[in-house]
A and B are shown apart, each in its own frame.
Chain A
């Protein structure tokens, strides 16, 4: 079985402040982890993914995430928020041999000028 939990359905940060979006997963085998972003009236776009290897992964638009097996976490960070980062962010988990991806419930990021 696999599941993913995103803490905080809404997060507000000031422009220029650190962005931290939390994601915890459960998986009976090594997971594959993804972060997606969704802008209004659009589909989801991949920000970054972790499969194997380096636990700190860098994605598009200055975002990065760190896979921490001991904490079963894959939190998304960005050092300095920009107004254009306002969107909904989804964490997702998959694993070898399992044909479906499990998505979290999403976190809506608001950036305050």
Chain B
């Protein structure tokens, strides 16, 4: 049973729209992450956060932005969607300890027309 929730699961939307992908976790985890994953491909870290008011860019450059004003909530925003943003976006969380695994949501599959 998922303790980390992503909405929407699927989104098809036109170019130029502003999009917010929601991610919430109920485990009280300090660290949260956003990954971008094309179907059947590897994960690319695009944003992460150590805690409230902490956000960092990941290894893959992304035009998206994130915020962390509550521990449990880590939304990702695209101000103006483009077809190149079409992908799957996975949210994850973990405790602060490096020896603990990440817990993943089921992802949002985004298609920009």
Residues of A within 8 A of B (CB): 32, 34, 36, 41-46, 49, 51-52, 88, 90, 94-101, 103-106, 108
Contact = CB atoms under 8 A, between A and B. Distances in A.
Nearest to A48: B101
Contact of A43 (B41, B42, B99, B104): B104
Q: Which of A94, A95, A101 has the most CB of B within 10 A?
A: A101
A57 to B, nearest CB: 12
A49 B98 CA distance: 12
Contacts, number: 59
Given A43-B92, A90-B43, A51 B31 contact: no
A10 to B, nearest CB: 10
Interface residues of B, number: 25
18 contacts: A32-B98, A32-B99, A36-B101, A41-B106, A41-B109, A42-B107, A43-B2, A43-B92, A43-B106, A43-B107, A46-B101, A90-B42, A90-B43, A96-B98, A98-B98, A99-B31, A99-B98, A104-B42
Given A99-B31, A99-B48, A99-B50, A42 B99 contact: no
Nearest to A103: B43
B41 A106 contact: yes
B101 A49 contact: yes
Contacts of B40: 88, 106, 108
Nearest to B107: A43
Contacts of A108: 40
B56 to A, nearest CB: 8
B110 interface: no
Contact of B48 (A44, A46, A100): A100
B45 to A, nearest CB: 6
A51 B100 CA distance: 9
A104 B106 CA distance: 19
